[in-house]
Amino acid sequence: MTRWRRNESGNIAMSTPGYADDKVAVLARLKKIEGQVRGIHKMIDSDRYCIDVLQQISAATRALQGVALHLLDEHLTHCVVHAVESGGAEKDAKLREASAAIAQLVKS
């Protein structure tokens, strides 16, 4: 599978991101999370009980984390695999970058 496309001006090649195949599903998950955050805003605005608000924040946090893990998975199986197969400096750079992203995700 080629993971390259032409941009609007038609003359610069850009790689499609690893999540290209299920972009619609990822967008739907983000819309839902946006709604969750708006719901938390409403809860605060209506003086809802702290503990109930905290539960909704945990749910939104886990949902964001789920999207991040999904994107990372797609990134590994597409972008990183592509770089490994191409070899050279790109391979090392992509591996270092992926490790840094994993570390950031684990620590956040």
> Helices 50-74 and 23-45 meet at what angle, rounded to 10?
160
| Residues facing residue 4 across a β-bridge | 15
- DSSP SS3 for 98: helix
Alpha helices in 12-49 (DSSP H): 23-45
C-alpha distance across the termini of the chain, in Å: 33
Contact residue for a copy of itself among 10, 49, 88, 89 (CB under 8 A):
49
Query: In this chain, which of 10, 51, 88, 89 binds a copy of itself, going by CB under 8 A?
Result: 51
With binding defined as CB under 8 A, does residue 73 bind a copy of itself? yes
Assess 86 for contact with a copy of itself (CB under 8 A): no
Tokens of 7: 């941009």
Q: Does 54 bind a copy of itself (CB under 8 A)?
A: yes
Positions that interact with a copy of itself (CB under 8 A): 14, 16-20, 23, 26-27, 30-31, 33-34, 37-38, 40-41, 44-45, 47-51, 53-55, 57-58, 60-62, 64-65, 67-69, 71-77, 79-81, 84-85, 91, 95, 97-99, 101-108
